[in-house]
Amino acid sequence: MKILDPKIITRLAKNGIPKVEFDSLIGDETELELLKAQGMNIVLDNGLYKFQSAISSIDETLFCIVDVESNGSKPAHHQIIEIGAVKMQNGHILDTYESLVYCTDISDQIQEITGIKPEHTLKAPSLKKVMHEFRLFLGDAVFVGHDAKFDYNFVSAMMERVGLSRLLNRSLCTIDLAERTIECERYGLAYLNDQLELYKEATHHRALSDAMTTTKLLKRTLAVVPNTISTTEELIAFSKEAKRLKRPKFKKEEKKEEAIEKE
């Protein structure tokens, strides 16, 4: 599909595409509605088609902060076993979604990391049911994740597995954003939570808890982004293109702890 060409995506995110040219790219209104159903929020603004996020302020934007737990790292071979999400707009939490997913195969390592066992997932809703519910919950909100690429790709792959179309929502990574707004030795979610005291009730590696922690991190980073950043597309560009802050040097004790963590 021509509209999914990276150059076209960039134009929609920045200066927009004239209506006549855009109409020739999509063919008809049905194609546009299909794109919107996949989360691509495109609007006509003064004769130009743009992403809604290119003209909406950060406060106006609906963010959906997502975290998934899976039984492996490869979407082609593994599946989501739990998903949690938080809807936020103008700093206010509007809604949450949480579900385990039916699964019979969870390795001992994954069970140890997440605390999720087969006896928990055997009575859970099917992947198809959960993905249909989550598609409705997500809508055309901006997809936010801590390492958003992993969560986004996993959810998108699961959508396709159950017969839905892949995701086309705009996305934002809180690792990228944190690296450009907060000085810290490491940017893992658990480490940031400890250092910044984001979410005292956190249970690391449980989906809704991690989504809530990420939500609080997003709010913390949004409070310190430069005042020149006004639209959500400018925020997305800033998270990818701005210079990363210099990481403070580890103390000797912290270096030893990091070395132990890697063993």
182-234 pLDDT, tens digit per residue, is 999 999 999 999 999 999 999 999 999 999 999 999 999 999 999 999 999 99
83-137 pLDDT, tens digit per residue, is 999 999 999 999 999 999 999 999 999 999 999 999 999 999 999 999 999 999 9
Which pLDDT does position 259 carry in this prediction? 47
Which pLDDT does position 252 carry in this prediction? 52
Q: Which residues of 199-236 are buried (b: 16+ CB within 10 A; e: fewer)?
A: beebebbbbbbbbbbbbbbbbbbbeebeeebebbbbbb
Q: Is pLDDT at 258 greater than 60 in this prediction?
A: no
Which pLDDT does position 251 carry in this prediction? 59
Which pLDDT does position 90 carry in this prediction? 97
Instruction: Count the Cβ atoms, other than its own, within 10 Å of residue 3.
Output: 19
Which pLDDT does position 262 carry in this prediction? 37
In eight-state DSSP terms, residue 85 is E
Report whether CATH 3.30.420.10 matches the domain 62-241.
Answer: yes
44-93 pLDDT, tens digit per residue, is 999 999 999 999 999 999 999 999 999 999 999 999 999 999 999 999 99
In this prediction the pTM is 0.93
User: Exposed, middle or buried: residue 246 (CB in 10 Å: 0-12, 13-18, 19+)?
Assistant: exposed
Which pLDDT does position 220 carry in this prediction? 97
Q: Is pLDDT at 2 greater than 90 in this prediction?
A: no
Q: Is pLDDT at 148 greater than 80 in this prediction?
A: yes
Which pLDDT does position 249 carry in this prediction? 74
Q: Where do the structural domains in the chain lie, given as residue ranges?
A: 2-54, 62-241
Q: Is pLDDT at 261 greater than 50 in this prediction?
A: no
Instruction: Give the lowest-confidence range in 18-32, 43-57, 136-150, 171-185.
Output: 18-32
Grade residue 263 by pLDDT with cuts at 50, 70 and 90. Answer: very low
DSSP string, 210-231: HHHHHHHHHHHHHTTS-TT--B
